[in-house]
Amino acid sequence: MNTFDYIIVGAGSAGCPVARALTEDPNVSVLLVEAGPHADRFWVNTPAGMAKLYFNERLNWNYHTEPLAKLKNRRMYWPRGKTLGGSSSINGMVFIRGHAKDFDSWRDLGNPGWGYDDVLPHFKAMEHFERRADQWRGQGGPLWISDPVVKSASSYDFIESASRLGHPRTEDMNGEAHDGVGFMQHSIKGGRRHSAFVAFVKPILNRKNLTVVTDAPVQRVLFDGKAATGIEVKHEGELRRFTAAREVILSGGALNTPQLLMLSGVGPGGELQKHGIPVVHESAGVGQNLQDHFYMHTGWRATADSSYNANIAGLRKYWEGFKYLMTRRGYLALGSSQVAAFVKSSPDEPYADLQISFRPMTFQYFPDGTVAVENQPGMGVSVYQLRPQTTGTVTLRSNRPSDKAVSSPEFLTDPYDIAAMISGIKQIRQIMTTEPIRSRVVSEEVPGPKVRTDEDIFNFMVETGNSAHHQGGTCKMGRDPMAVVDERLRLRGIERLRVVDASIMPHLTSGNTNAPTIMIGVKGGEMIRLDATPRRAISA
C-alpha cells in the first residue's frame, strides 16, 4: 500500500480541503501526510487555548526569522501549526476573506479564474455562516463561521468611536462591504475551534480511499526526469517512500513548501548548487516574494468594566473554565479579537490598507515563552499593513531536511510601508481618545505618552514591531519569470506536481490569511479533480 493516485504533503488549512475534494471519487486513492501529530487535544479544541499553543513544542514549528537589520537585529518569532489542521489548529480563528479587489488583482496579474467573482462561489460553498445565506454568504458548507458568543460593551464603544471618526459600520466584513468597522467572525462551532481538519477531514475519515499518516515529515519529492513520482518521508525513525500514480500536491505552507521544493532540486540554481543539491528544474521564484503583515500592538489600561482580564485570570478563571465545560460558552469560547476596522492610511489609497483589531483583554509575555492574561484591566489594539511593498526570501540553511529554512523578511525597508504603519498608530490613538471608548481608558500604557513624533513612533516600531503571522507568496502564481505555478497551480516546468497553499498568493490579501488559504485548498482540490491527470504506468 505504498502507491496512491494523489499524495498531499501537509494536512493544514489548504491540504485538508484538497483531501476532501479528491476523495469524493471512490475510485481515487489519496494519501494525506502530516509532519506533526494528531490535534484532538483540549487546548486545541478550546478557543482560548491558543495562548497555550503559541510556543507549544509539539504542535508548533516554532520558526524564527534571521536577525533583521532594520529591527536592531531582532529575530522575529513565527509560529506555524505542526499538527492535523496546520495553523488553523493553533491560530486565533479569525475568519476574514479579504477585499474583492485583492482577488481581482490576482486575476489581472495573469491568473484567469482567480478574480473575486471566480472565488466567491468557493468561499460560499466552503462555509456554514451561522447567521444566514445570501448573495455573499453560504450555508451548508463544512467550515462553521460564527459571531463572538460574548460581545463586550467596550467593543461596541470602539465601533461607535470609529464610526464617529467617519469609518462606516459593517455588519458583515465578509459580505458586500469589507471596509469599515464591525465585529469579526471566527471559525468556531458550538464553542469549539473548527479547524480545517475538523471541518474537512474528520467527517470523512471513514472513506476507504483516504489514508492519513501523521508524525511523518517529508524529506523530499521524488522525480523521474521532470515528472514527480512520489515522496520520501521519515516515519517512526525510518525512511519510507510513497508513490503517486497521478500527482503530488504540496500544501506545507509558505515556509515549508519552498524549502521542500529546493531540497528536492527545484528552485534557484545558485541556491541549490550552494548546498550540493542536484538541479531537477531551475525555478528562480521558489522562496522569493516572501510577504507578511507587519504588526504593531498598543495597550491601554482600562476601567474594570471594560476588560475581561479579571474573568480569565486569578481564581475567577476556574469559574470560567467550569462554565465553559458545562456550556461551551463564556470567555473561553472566544477567538483572538472582537472587532476589526479596515481603514486607509491616507486618502489616496483606493481601499483600506490597514487593519486595526480591538480586543477587550491583554496578554503578558514572559522571557521563558509563557503567556498569561494581565491581572489589571486592559484593552489591546493592534494594527498591520495589508499591502506591504517589501518582499523577502526563504532559502536553505543546508541540504538537511531537519534544518529549518532561512527566513528573511524585509520589514521596515520601504518608506511607503513605514508611513502607512505610522498612520495606523495615529489612527488607533484617534479612535481610543474619541467618545465613548475614551471614557473606558485610564491611560495609554503602550507605546505610552512619551512616544509622540513620527520619529518616536518609528523607533517604537523598530524596538517592538512584530509579525501578524500571515506569511505567503513564496511560490507565487502567475506568468512572469518569477512565477512558480500557473493558474491551475501546476508547477511550471514540472509534470504531476502542484502547490496548493498560501505560498501561491501573488500578494497577500487584506486581512487574516487563513480564510483565503482554505479557499485556495477548496478551489485547488476542485481543479485537480476536474483535470483528472491520467495514471502513469508504474512498474512492479
The domains found in the chain, sorted by start residue, are 1-41+80-126+193-293+472-540 (3.50.50.60)
pLDDT at 156: 98
Confidence grade of residue 341 (pLDDT, cut at 50, 70, 90): very high
Residue 121 in 3-state DSSP? helix
The pLDDT-based confidence of 59 (bands split at 50, 70, 90) is: very high
278 by Cβ neighbours in 10 Å (0-12 / 13-18 / 19+) ranks as exposed
Q: Which of helix, strand or coil describes residue 272?
A: helix
Over residues 404-448, the pLDDT tens digits come to 999 999 999 999 999 999 999 999 999 999 999 999 999 999 999
Is 93 marked as a binding-site residue? yes
218 carries a ligand binding annotation: yes
Asked if residue 326 belongs to a known ligand binding site, the reply is: no
Let me know the angle formed at the C-alpha of 385 by 382 and 386, rounded to the nearest 5 degrees: 120
How far is 474 from 277, CA to CA, in rounded Å? 20
Residue with cell 504593531: 296
pLDDT digits (tens, 9 = 90+) for 286-336: 999 999 999 999 999 999 999 999 888 877 888 888 899 999 999 999 998
Q: Look at residue 365 and tell me whether its pLDDT is greater than 90.
A: no
Residue 185 has pLDDT above 80, yes or no: yes
Distance separating alpha carbons of residues 438 and 446, to the nearest angstrom = 16
> Per-residue confidence at 370, pLDDT binned at 50, 70, 90?
low
Burial (CB count within 10 angstroms: exposed 0-12, middle 13-18, buried 19+), residue 295: buried
Widest CA span in the chain: 75
Residue 138 has pLDDT above 90, yes or no: yes
Cell of 35: 509532519
Q: Is the CB of residue 135 less than 8 Å from the CB of residue 147?
A: no
pLDDT in tens, 8-29: 999 999 999 999 999 999 999 9
Contact 199, 16 (CB under 8 A): yes
User: Which pLDDT belongs to residue 369?
Assistant: 56
As a whole number of angstroms, the distance between CA 521 and CA 242 comes to 22
The DSSP letter of residue 537 is: P
- Mean of the pLDDT values across residues 259-284? 98
C-alpha cell at 223: 522525480
Whole-number Å distance between alpha carbons of 428 and 370: 27
Q: Annotated binding residue at 262?
A: no
Q: Which residue has the cell 478563571?
A: 317
Model pLDDT, residue 366: 62
Distance of CA 247 to the CA centre of its chain: 25
Write out the three cell numbers for 141.
458548507
Report, as an integer, the average pLDDT of 377-401: 97
Given this model, what pLDDT does residue 320 score? 87
* pTM for the full predicted model: 0.97
Measured CA to CA, the distance from residue 36 to residue 32 in angstroms comes to 12
Place of cell 475510485: 27
β-pairing, 266-267 with 393-395? unpaired
Residue with cell 493553533: 90
Active site residues: 470
**pLDDT tens track for 79-121:** 999 999 999 999 999 999 999 999 999 999 999 999 999 999 9
pLDDT confidence band for 171 (50 / 70 / 90): very high
Phi and psi angles of residue 332, each rounded to the nearest 5 degrees, phi first: -75, -10
Which of 42 and 316 is assigned the larger pLDDT?
Answer: 42
User: How open is the CA angle 523-529-535, to the nearest 5 degrees?
Assistant: 145
3-state SS, residue 88: helix
Residue 147 in this model has a pLDDT that exceeds 90: yes
| DSSP code for 279 | P
Q: Which residue has the higher pLDDT, 539 or 196?
A: 196
Q: Quote the cell numbers at residue 420.
A: 502607512
**Beta strand pairing call for 238-250 and 3-9:** parallel
At 468, which amino acid appears?
A
Percent pLDDT > 90 in the chain is 93
Contact by Cβ (8 Å): 377, 367: no
What backbone phi and psi angles, to 5 degrees, belong to 393?
Answer: -140, 155
Position with higher pLDDT, 539 vs 325: 325
| Band of residue 473 on the pLDDT scale cut at 50, 70, 90 | very high
Q: How confident is residue 373, by pLDDT bands cut at 50, 70 and 90?
A: confident
Specify whether the CB–CB gap between 61 and 102 falls below 8 A. no
